[in-house]
Every structure is written in C-alpha cells, then in structure tokens.
Structure 1
Amino acid sequence: MKHEKKYDLLTIGRSSIDLYSANIGSPFVDISAFNAFVGGCPLNIAVGSVRLGVNVAILTGIGNDQVGLFIKNFLSKEGVKTEWIPTIDGTRSSAVILGIEPPDKFPLVYYRDNCADININLDHVQNVPFEDFKAAIFSGTAFSKDPSRTAMLFALELAAKNQVTKLLDLDFRADQWHDIRAYGVTIRTVMNQFDVVIGTEEEILAAYLTDINQLEIKHQQISAPEIRGNIDEAIRQIIASGVETLIVKRGKDGASIFQKDKEEVKVPGFPVEVLNVLGAGDAFAGGFSYGFLNGWDLYKSVRMGNACGAIIVTREGCANFMPSNQEVMEFVEARGGF
C-alpha cells in the first residue's frame, strides 16, 4: 500500500536572525539603526511556500538562546512546522547584518562561527519522518562543513528511500567554505542525486570554478559574487552528470529550464524597480515549489517563481516580506498572466 504523504515540503539548512539597515541608501559605515527579521535560504523558502498555501516543515538548528526563540517563534506564527528544529547546546543561532544601498550595493556580514544549523547531525535527520513528505529542498551551504555535511548525505539517502522528490538550491556563499573550490568539488559530487537543481548563473559557475582568481566579491556582497567562466559549458556538464532538470535564474531576464536532449526553455521575468535583491532567489524557489507540488508544468512553475522573486526585490527584507498567494496572482494577472 502506498504511504500517504502528510506534508508537501521539507526545507533543510540555514536559519538566522537578519539585521537589515533601517537607513536605506546609507553607506554601511553610516547606518544608525537596524530592523530585525529572519532569514537563511531554507527558512525563506519555507515561509515563502507556506504563504502561498504549501504545507511546509523545516529542518534547521538553533542555539539555546533568545535568537533561537525569536526564529522559532516567527516560524510557528507563520504556520511552518517546527517539530524538527533541535536546540543544540554549545552553539549559537546564526546572524546576518546587511546594508541596503539600491540598486546594486548590498554589503553582507555573516556571524556563523559554531552556528547551530551547521551542527545538524545524523540523529537530527533520523528524527524526521521522510516518508511523510512529497519533496525536500536542500541548501548548498548545508554541505559546507561537518557534521551538517554528513547529515545532508544521510538525508539524501532517506529521501531517496522514501520516494521524496529532491531539490537543491545551490545557495553559494563564498565565505562559508574553507576554500571556494571546495564548493564545486562537493556540489559536483552530490548534484546528480537531485531531481531538480536551482541556481543563479554565478552559482552554476561556482560549481565548476577551478581557480580562486575567477571569483571577485565587491562591496562585501557575499551573496552576489562576480565569477568568470563558461556558463554554457557548466550547464552542459550539470545535465550530463544526470541532473533531470536544471533551472538557471537570470534576474530581471527571468529564468531558463534545461533538461537532457531538450532545447533550453526561456521563461520571461517581471521587470520591477529593485530595492533589495536579498531573498529573491529564495522567493523564486518558494514560488516554483508551489507550482511544482501542485502539478503545474515546469514553465508555469518557473513563471510563478519569477513573479515571487520580482515582488520580493521591491521590498525591504526576505522572509518577513514574502507575498501571499493572492498578491502573487494579482501581480501576475496585472502583467499578462502566466
């Protein structure tokens, strides 16, 4: 008898308190106040998805501290299932500080020394009933260090065993790896175990980066590095590795779908005026997951992701500002529909 799935989506990896500049447009050195939000790729995806109507749980770690309570309280209020968020003694919940200087300067500082989510271990993964989930989305950063790296490999095993659709958000953050080339070595090893891989052009190039001089980070924009390389060759290698579906996010130009022996499918975006680019990719993943889990075709699902990403870049923060289903549908309808 086929096991009935209780939940739509499990997101796995980072969570943090996000302190975003309250002085939009001011240089980082002149910031006088910050607003407290929550963030981290999997957390943003979880909130973005649940606001659209997806039944979501998250596997992340928090420290035995007030920041951890802040994160968990927000998720609970949003309706994200928090049963599998362990409090890990001896660690700290992570934090992010961001400057907001539109349209193209967003300096970012991570505070992730001995952070809780990178200490997710095999027991924490074992506690999750993977048989109850339709899909799981992993973040690339969760593979950056042990014990989380090994825990993610175990989670992949359990997901495959329980017929859970596996999605990977490449989520490249250069300063979270002891060597930026290690990101590519690790991601290339696991990528073909995923059904869907989602990433920006920069993240896809990072997966095949062989020379540290190919990467440049300006204005401490950790989430938006400049990476030199052959994007077409990197895409070809990902598909050749066995990845069933690759989705390349291209910012204002929308996104592209790549599959073996098929032509590239270009999905147009929604041009908007940018306030803050942080969280756009996570909003995209939330929107895509909504469509994908509701049986939409890839084109429409990616178009939904583009819409969610476009909305979030017009707003101040990430998870706290994710749009509702009604907001997205009205946004899309006003711009010509899917």
Structure 2
Amino acid sequence: MSNKKFDLLTLGRSSIDLYSANVGSPFEQISSFNAFVGGCPLNIATGAKRLGLNTAILTGIGPDQVGNFIKHFLDKEGVITEYVPTIDGTRSSAVVLGIEPPDRFPLVYYRENCADINLNIDHVDAIPFADFKAAAFSGTAFSKDPSRTAMFYALELAKKNNVQTLLDIDFRADQWDDPRSFGITLRAALSKFNIVVGTEEEILATYLTDKEQLLIKHQQISAPEIRGNIDSAIQEIMSSGVETLVVKRGKEGASIFQPDKEEIRVPGFPVEVLNVLGAGDAFCAGFSYGLLNNWDLYKSVRMGNACGAIIVTREGCANFMPTNEEVMAFVENRGGF
C-alpha cells in the first residue's frame, strides 16, 4: 500500500450549499444566503487534503455554472478532479440550509435528476483504483440508479486492487423512496467495507423496519430521531463482517468496535456549537488522515473528534475545514491526543 500514488478517493455527492447569512433567524425570515460547497464526499476530500493527504473525488456535475462553481473550488483546494465528469442532461446539486443554533438546522435538498446520482459504470471504470490506498463512500450514493450500481461496482474494484474501503453511512431519509430501503440497500453492502462510520441514528437507520421509528422535526434531514436498540444494531453491523465500526456520539466523542474486542471510548472536545452540518465529514477527514499515516485507531478517532469539534464552531462545511496546523494546535491546547 505504501507504493501507491494517491492516498484517498471519495465517491458520491457534491453540491452548492446556500447557508443562511442570518444566523439565528427562522427559515422564513432569512434575507440572504452565503454560497459554499458541500456534499459528504466533497467535504471529506477537502478536509483530508487540508490536513495533508493527496485526495481525489469521483462526483458528477452538470453542464451549468453551479458545476463550474463546484469544480473551481476543488481545483483551488488541490483535490484531484480529473475523474469528475460533466454529465449532459443533468443539473448540479444544491442544498439550502437555515442556521438556528444550538439545535435547529432545517435543510432542503434540490437533487431532482442531479448529476452525481447519474454516475455510472463507465465513470467508475475511469478510476485507477490500484493507485489509491483508501476509498470513502457515502450512503446517499446508493440511493438511486445508476449511481447505486456504480458504487457496488466501485466496491468490487476497490477490493480487487487492495484498496481499504470506508463507508460514511450518511443517512438522508428524503433521498430514498422509502426510508426502510436505505437499510435494505446498505445491509447488502456492509460486508464489502473494512470500516463503517456513523452516528447512533444512522446505525439505527441501517436496521429500520417501521416508518414510525423515524421522526424528523423542523426539516432537519441530517438529524433525525430514530427509535431502536442501538446495542443490537451495533452487533448486527459487526456480525456482517465489518472489521471496524466507529460510532460518532457528538460531544461525547466516539466509540470503536471490533470483533471479539471491548468497546473503546474516545473522548471528544466540547465546544459551543454554531452549525452541526459537516461535523461528521470533518470527522472522517481527520480519521482518514490518522489511518493513512499509520496511527492507531484511538489516535485516529481522536483526530476525527478534533476536526469535527472545530467545524461545528464554523459557518459551513468544506470551505471551513481546518488545516493540519489548526487541528494540532487545537488538540495541544485541550490535553493532546
């Protein structure tokens, strides 16, 4: 793996993110928005690049100015974009977000016929998987075809080329025809991943059997309430063949689960929250940085916790990802790893 050319490939969503410029205002009273970029894979690729990894992204953009906006940002950041196709007949994705800290972040997706969900087998075939150490997938990329089939194919190629695979569960209920189909699809893919990362709610969503278990308040698509037995869901994931499961627990930090081993709790970094969106993606960027620098799991998760803590104090996602120097200073000032 040490001879490989690139560190990390991320696959799936990308978007223009329009975030309320009136922090604290109810959504209906927002008077202006700031334009950023986002999408779980884009955020991870950007965050990991700022930390020092050599990253690339497979996502789709439309033949439109929004696509140019997204690609310009990635090129400026130094994320490799040669595998980002412009897909005719589609539109680049968009997201609109309200910011009402500490606990209201209404989210509206504009993803009808979006470019990234039209990624196909040919787009995956263009990726030199043998050149990458790791590949990070997001759950939303499995929500519709042709992207769903493309992601399963990408998993096959990753395994064939000895690429470590990571799944960010990334549950977004309104992106699925039925929230239960999320779990059915993800469960079919779990055994193909080395590492799975998710919040307690996302892990419960993977085993959702009744729509009544799901509750979304104030259109907080990224922060659903889900009833279920978290211990049972964790055991189900571990029995699927996953080597490592990381459960993100917000300000409490995270837990590491591996077969036949005790749970390892990794403390977080309590901070005052401005915007929770992007925290999980920042976590995955920091966690991936640690893993690909051969850190142990505890230190890698602690790095992820630090990146997530920093990003929740900032206005947006990818545009605000911290640098390596920022994270190291943050950790040192709070007791170290």
Report the TM-score when normalising by structure 2. 0.99
Deviation digits for residues 97-149 of structure 1, max 9, x if unmatched?
A: 00000000000000000000000000000000001000000000000000000
Q: Which residue of 2 aligns with 1:27?
A: 26
| Alpha-carbon distance in 1 for matches of 2:122, 2:208 | 33
Q: Which residue of 2 aligns with 1:287?
A: 286
| Alpha-carbon distance in 2 for matches of 1:40, 1:241 | 27
Deviation digits for residues 131-188 of structure 1, max 9, x if unmatched?
A: 1000000000000000000000110010001000000000000000000000000001
| Correspondences of 1:140-155 after superposition (within 5 Å) | 140-155=139-154
| Alpha-carbon distance in 1 for matches of 2:172, 2:53 | 27
Q: Indicate whether 1:56 and 2:42 are aligned.
A: no
| Alpha-carbon distance in 1 for matches of 2:105, 2:223 | 9
Deviation digits for residues 296-337 of structure 1, max 9, x if unmatched?
A: 000000000000000000000000000000000000000000
Preserved CA contact (<8 Å) 1:8 1:293? yes
| Alpha-carbon distance in 1 for matches of 2:309, 2:160 | 36
Q: Which residue of 1 aligns with 2:304?
A: 305
Q: Which residue of 1 aligns with 2:137?
A: 138
AA aligned to 2:11 is I
* 3-state SS of paired residue (1:135): strand
Q: Which residue of 1 aligns with 2:238?
A: 239
| Alpha-carbon distance in 2 for matches of 1:165, 1:208 | 24
Unpaired runs of 5+ residues, structure 2, are none
| Alpha-carbon distance in 2 for matches of 1:168, 1:53 | 21
* 3-state SS of paired residue (1:284): helix
Q: Which residue of 1 aligns with 2:267?
A: 268
| Correspondences of 1:131-280 after superposition (within 5 Å) | 131-280=130-279
RMSD between aligned residues: 0.7
AA aligned to 1:40 is G
Measure how far apart 1:192 and its partner are.
1.0
| Alpha-carbon distance in 2 for matches of 1:3, 1:70 | 34
| Alpha-carbon distance in 1 for matches of 2:208, 2:152 | 22
| Alpha-carbon distance in 2 for matches of 1:205, 1:192 | 17
Deviation digits for residues 43-101 of structure 1, max 9, x if unmatched?
A: 00000000000000000000000000000000000010000000000000000000000
* 3-state SS of paired residue (1:8): strand
Measure how far apart 1:3 and its partner are.
9.0
Q: Which residue of 2 aligns with 1:15?
A: 14
* 3-state SS of paired residue (2:335): coil
Deviation digits for residues 249-302 of structure 1, max 9, x if unmatched?
A: 000000000000000000000000000000000000000000000000000000
| Alpha-carbon distance in 2 for matches of 1:161, 1:189 | 18
* 3-state SS of paired residue (1:234): helix
| Alpha-carbon distance in 2 for matches of 1:243, 1:155 | 17
Query: Against the structure 1 CA distance between its residues 3 and 46, is the aligned structure 2 distance closer, same or farther, given a 3 Å change threshold?
Result: closer
Task: Report sequence identity in percent.
Answer: 78
Q: Which residue of 2 aligns with 1:110?
A: 109
* 3-state SS of paired residue (1:248): strand
| Alpha-carbon distance in 2 for matches of 1:173, 1:298 | 27
Q: Which residue of 2 aligns with 1:97?
A: 96
Which stretches of structure 1, 4 residues or longer, exceed 6 Å deviation after superposition? Answer: none
AA aligned to 1:250 is R
Report the TM-score when normalising by structure 1. 0.99
AA aligned to 1:207 is T
| Alpha-carbon distance in 2 for matches of 1:203, 1:35 | 28
| Alpha-carbon distance in 2 for matches of 1:315, 1:3 | 35
| Alpha-carbon distance in 1 for matches of 2:226, 2:308 | 22
Measure how far apart 1:4 and its partner are.
3.2
| Alpha-carbon distance in 2 for matches of 1:20, 1:86 | 26
Query: Against the structure 1 CA distance between its residues 3 and 305, is the aligned structure 2 distance closer, same or farther, given a 3 Å change threshold?
Result: closer
AA aligned to 2:151 is M
Preserved CA contact (<8 Å) 1:3 1:131? no
Unpaired runs of 5+ residues, structure 1, are none
| Alpha-carbon distance in 2 for matches of 1:136, 1:243 | 15
| Alpha-carbon distance in 2 for matches of 1:238, 1:166 | 15
